[in-house]
């Protein structure tokens, strides 16, 4: 039986990760290593200056760490798990990770951390608008996608970013391979003052609008489709390299 590691950035208490565990346990040996609390928007941060404390919830299979999502995957694959892992799935994130969200998402970053170990990884997120979150729909498609990549292995350092509309499975209108789209936020800085007259700040923001460009993850989810976006960590602007070479930087002293 192949094995699968589950992690997230919403924390061990999140229903999404337990729905994944339920879906995969019949066909995989399932391990769970997740943060002990919500760590959304942690990005690819790693704990370098503090110890990472581990708690065992179920012997040899379910653990929490007091670190980041990337810490969770890192310690799991570096030695907490005593058996090799065939796949990593992160999520199910309570909220979409579309467009530039991927640069902040702990869910996506944890999947990238698995890719550095050359382990196929999915980051799975679901829209959280509505009174009921249909995590089962996202788990269903994650399972189907894992079955497909068992026969078509991903290239090294490539992950799949999966975004799912908040619908029942039978209401989904298809699956689309996409590129990253654009979401636009209105950010603000809220200033406060504590009882000792020291200032502190909250960073706030809300989604103002999104661009419904054809072929993007944003458009696919808007059309009630599951979006699958292949990502890799190389964000080099390759088309700019020759242009910069023409700017005579080699003459700088």
β 226-231/159-164 pair status: antiparallel
Is residue 14 included in any domain, yes or no?
A: yes
What pLDDT is attached to residue 208? Answer: 60
Task: Report DSSP state, residue 41.
Answer: T
* DSSP-derived 3-state class of residue 62: strand
Instruction: Render pLDDT for 12-32 as a digit per residue (tens, 0 to 9).
Output: 999 999 999 999 999 999 999
Distance from C-alpha of 54 to C-alpha of 128, rounded to nearest angstrom = 30
Domain hosting residue 77, numbered range: 3-182+211-251
Other CB atoms within 10 A of residue 215 CB: 11
**Dihedral (Cα; 237, 96, 184, 103), 10-degree rounding:** -30
The predicted model gives 202-209 an average pLDDT of: 72
Instruction: Give the containing element (helix H, strand E) for 145.
Output: helix 135-151
What is the reported pLDDT for 210? 72
Q: 187 in a domain, yes or no?
A: no
Mean pLDDT across 76-96: 96
Contacts of 35 by beta carbon, 8 Å cutoff, 6+ apart: 8, 9, 11, 12, 64, 65, 66, 67, 68, 69, 71, 72
Q: Could you tell me if residue 206 is inside a domain?
A: no
Domain count, the chain: 1
pLDDT in tens, 88-114: 999 999 999 999 999 999 999 999 999
**130 within a domain of the structure (yes/no):** yes
Predicted confidence at residue 189, as pLDDT, reads 86
Overall average pLDDT of the 159-164 stretch: 98
Closest CA to 232 of 179, 183, 182: 179
Residue 137 domain flag? yes
Distance from the Cα of residue 170 to its chain's centroid: 24
Q: For residue 216, what pLDDT is reported?
A: 97
The answer to whether position 32 is within a domain reads yes
- Residues near 110 by beta carbon (within 8 Å), at least 6 away in sequence: 7, 8, 9, 69, 70, 72, 73, 88, 90, 123
131: left (phi over 0), alpha (psi -120 to 50) or beta: alpha
Which helix (H) or strand (E) segment holds residue 22: the answer is helix 15-24
Q: What is the pTM of this model?
A: 0.92
Asked, for residue 168, whether it belongs to a domain, the answer is yes
Q: Report yes or no on 91 lying in a domain.
A: yes
The CATH code of the domain that includes 149 is: 3.40.1210.10
């Amino acid at each position: 039986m192949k094995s699968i590691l589950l992690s997230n950035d919403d924390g061990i208490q999140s229903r999404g990760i337990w729905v994944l565990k339920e879906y995969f346990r019949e066909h995989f040996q399932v391990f769970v290593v997740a943060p002990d609390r919500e760590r959304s928007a942690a990005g690819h941060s790693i704990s370098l200056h503090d110890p990472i404390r581990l708690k065992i919830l179920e012997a040899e299979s379910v653990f929490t760490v007091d670190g980041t999502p990337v810490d969770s995957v890192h310690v799991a694959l570096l030695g907490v798990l005593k058996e090799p892992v065939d796949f990593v799935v992160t999520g199910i994130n309570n909220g979409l990770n579309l467009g530039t969200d991927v640069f902040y998402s702990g869910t996506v970053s944890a999947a990238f951390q698995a890719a550095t170990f050359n382990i196929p990884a999915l980051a799975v997120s679901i829209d959280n608008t509505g009174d009921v979150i249909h995590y089962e729909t996202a788990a269903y498609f994650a399972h189907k996608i894992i079955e497909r990549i068992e026969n078509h292995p991903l290239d090294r350092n490539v992950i799949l970013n999966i975004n799912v509309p908040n619908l029942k499975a039978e209401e989904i209108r298809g699956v689309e391979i996409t590129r990253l789209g654009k979401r636009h936020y209105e950010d603000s800085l809220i200033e406060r003052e504590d009882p000792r007259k020291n200032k502190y700040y909250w960073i706030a923001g809300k989604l103002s609008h999104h661009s419904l460009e054809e072929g993007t993850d944003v458009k696919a989810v808007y059309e009630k489709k599951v979006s699958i976006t292949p990502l890799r960590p190389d964000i080099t602007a390759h088309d700019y390299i020759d242009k910069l070479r023409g700017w005579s930087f080699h003459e700088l002293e």
